[in-house]
Amino acid sequence: MDFCFLAGKDPKFFLFKHFDLFKDFVFFLEIELEDGSFITIRRSVEDATKIAFKQHEAGHQDLSALALAEWGHRDVPFERARELLDGLLDWRALKPWSYRKALGYLLRSQEDFREVFQLRKFASKHADWKPFLAHLLGFDAKLIADHYAKEHELAKKQETAQTIKNELGGSVEDISKIEGILLLKQKDAEKKQVLLDAFDFRAQDKDRTKKVVDEVDERIAALNSERYSLSQNRKKVQASLQEDQILFSPDEAQRLFGEAGVLFQGQIKKDFQQLIAFNRAITDERRGYLQEEFAEIEGELKRVNAELNALGKKRSEMLSFLSGTDVFTKYKQLSDEMVTLRADITSLEHQKGHLHRLQELRAEIRSLTEERDHLQARIEADVDKQNSDQASPFSTIRVFFSEIVEEVIDRKALLSVAINQVGHLDLKAEILDGSGNATSADLGHTYRKLLCVAFDMAVLRAHLSEKFPRFVYHDGVLESLDDRKKENLLTVVRRYADLGLQPVITLIDSDLPVRAEDDAPVFTAGEIVVTLHDEGDRGRIFKMRGW
């Protein structure tokens, strides 16, 4: 079903993993739309990015033999096909999200029963799925999405500010102090330049004097600036290399725990060792890159220092060529002072620029922090409102959720949403005891699966009057339940089907509840879509041997 709902082309998906077996397969999915008409989706394995659609009035149509030219939309590019299907389904209650976002809750596989809220496909950052889940539950999803976006923006600004601090060498001076020192040095340089310009040498020496001042000194100043930048980068790389040391030792921890009379061995020690090995692998790779960068910087510094030494010698020779008189000695002294001043001025201007940017970032960080906190306050107000309003969508889902669980296992269940300290939604699904207190029963796989089923069905029922999906699929839904609870769950499933929903379940015959011989079968013929068995290839879903 997910393939026909236009899942991406994942090489790990069995159809593409065993492409030679399935390349000639073409899959069809017929969907009834809200207006009573139907849409059939055609997707082949070999050309999985070219999709065809056919709209028709009657259901249960076998269009497998229909020529491709007879399809209403054919050879539709993949992304355009998703957009087209999104419009045809018209599940507008999901907006602004695509129909694909909800499919994880509608097509749960065994891997998706591990967590009620965070599906396998949502293994990424919470910002990618919590706003959507909040939307399904009736909360203001835009506030939550904006809060995550603001947090991300704030983190980037803080990271940039820290980078600038590192470039300043860890000593962040007051901007006023830097500007004051810079002003004094600039004034000093101006005075010395006036004195240098006042020197009058013989005509034959003027060209060589100009070359000393205009070429050699400028190159020396440029190299000093480059040396400053390289030195700052070397500091950062050295700091990063020192930060990458792994100081925790499982053997030392075991010795200390042993002295304290506490066991630290077996799986715990193994887990720490594996974690350290994993971190060390990452750290070693990063250290390799950092050491390469450090070597490059060292090489550049050697080159710059060598050129500075050569230029200094050349400059000294050129000045000594002019004359050995006092006037030239004074000129040489002033020139040396100007070189030092220019290097200092360049360094101070770099610091000034960094500090100005740091001031701007701090102002932006303060503003973003205020905006984030304001969003958090609005989220808290919205969550409080939805929690306290007995007619809210969330309260409705809560009631349906608990009813399903109670009907199956005779214990109430609680769906709760709160805001944690950093302003994020904290969602819980728990089974309660007779006193209404949360228990650990939901931690077991069987009851966790029941909570997943109850949550999915409760959400669908709460949105029954909206343009919202009407089907839900659960794999192996009766596994591990006792017979009475299996019968109770099937009663719930049938009641929800009578409401207009389409629950789809899979199970093996050993999971069927046991009934007396004279009792009616668990399922009627009309409730069974397909029966599979392993007594020959014809009983398999793809009519072929296993792979």
Task: Tell whether 218 and 320 lie within a shared domain.
Answer: yes
Give the residue from 76, 106, 108 showing the smallest Cα distance to 91. 106
Both 76 and 107 in a single domain? no
| Mean pLDDT for the stretch of residues 38-54 | 97
Q: Output 19-22 pairs: Cβ under 8 A, ≥24 positions apart.
A: 19/45, 21/544, 21/547, 22/542
Higher-scoring residue by pLDDT: 136, 237:
136
pLDDT > 70? residue 328: no
How long a stretch of residues is the chain? 547
Whether residues 251 and 297 share a domain: the answer is yes
13-22, Cβ contacts within 8 angstroms, sequence gap of 24 or more = 15/45, 16/45, 16/48, 18/547, 19/45, 21/544, 21/547, 22/542
For residue 62, tell me if it sits in a domain.
yes
pLDDT of residue 277 exceeding 80: no
Q: State the pLDDT at residue 546.
A: 76
Whole-model pTM: value is 0.70
pLDDT at 203: 41
- CATH classification at residue 121: 3.40.50.300
Q: If you average pLDDT over residues 350-356, what whole number do you get? A: 80
pLDDT: is 96 or 169 the higher one?
A: 96
High-pLDDT (> 90) share of the chain, %: 52
CA 1 centroid distance within chain = 27
Cα Rg of the chain, angstroms: 36
Q: Is there a single domain that holds both residue 427 and residue 509?
A: yes
How open is the CA angle 368-372-374, to the nearest 5 degrees? 115
Q: Does 336 lie in the same domain as 188?
A: yes
DSSP letter for 538, please.
G
Q: Answer whether 45's CB lies under 8 Å from 15's CB.
A: yes
* 3 state DSSP class of 3: coil
Q: Give the residue from 55, 74, 90 where a domain finishes.
A: 90
Give the pLDDT band of residue 430 (cuts 50, 70, 90): very high
Instruction: Look at residue 376 and tell me if it is in a domain.
Output: no
Give the model confidence (pLDDT) of 150-207 as tens digits: 999 999 999 988 887 777 765 556 666 777 777 888 888 788 777 777 765 554 455 5
Amino acid sitting at position 307: E
Q: How far apart are CA 147 and CA 368, in angstroms?
A: 10
CA-CA distance, 304 to 317, in Å (whole number)? 20
CA distances from 241 to 166, 278, 376 (A): 14, 18, 38
**Would the pLDDT of 219 be above 90?**
no
Structural domain boundaries enclosing 117: 98-138+392-547
Same domain for 184 and 317?
yes
Q: How confident is the model at residue 314 (pLDDT cuts 50, 70, 90)?
A: confident
Determine, yes or no, domain membership for 153: no
Instruction: Please give the torsion angle defined by the CA atoms of residues 401, 404, 409 and 413, in that order, rounded to the nearest 10 degrees.
Output: 10
State the DSSP H helix or E strand holding residue 522, giving kind and residue range, or none if neither. none
Bridge partner residues of 77 (DSSP) = 50
Q: Are residues 122 and 64 in the same domain?
A: no
* Alpha carbon distance 493, 496 (integer Å): 5
225 and 201, same structural domain?
yes
Same domain, 399 and 365: no
Q: What is the DSSP letter of 457?
A: H
- Residue where the block lists tokens 């950092």: 290
Mean pLDDT of 271-293: 69
Q: Please give the average per-residue pLDDT across 346-366, as a whole number.
A: 85
Question: Which residue type occupies 503?
Answer: P
Does 384 fall in a domain? no
- Nearest residue to 441 (alpha-carbon basis) of 396, 474, 408, 486: 408
Q: Which pLDDT score, from 0 to 100, does residue 472 have?
A: 97
473 in a structural domain = yes
Q: Are residues 468 and 537 in the same domain?
A: yes
In a domain, 378, yes or no: no
Task: Provide the number of structural domains found in the chain.
Answer: 3
**Of 143, 30, 139, 45, which Cα lies nearest the Cα of 88?**
30
Same domain, 253 and 207: yes
Structure tokens at 156: 């980037």
- Residue whose entry in the numeric block shows the structure tokens 């269009």: 63
Residue 280 domain flag: yes
Distance CA 336, CA 429 (A): 76
| Mean pLDDT across 15-34 | 95
- In the prediction, which pLDDT does 233 show? 84
The pLDDT value given to residue 442:
65
Q: Does residue 149 lie within any of the structural domains? A: no
Pick from 203-217, 227-241, 483-497, 508-522: least confident: 203-217
DSSP bridge pairs for 52: 42
Determine the Cα–Cα distance for residues 48 and 65; give it in Å rounded to an integer: 18
Residues 86 and 124 in one domain: no
Which residues on neighbouring strands pair with residue 43, listed in sequence order? 27, 51
Say what the pLDDT of residue 243 is: 67
Give the pLDDT confidence score for residue 178 in this predicted structure: 74
Confidence class for position 343, pLDDT limits 50, 70, 90: confident
Mean pLDDT of 133-150: 97
Strand runs (DSSP E) across 211-346, as ranges?
none
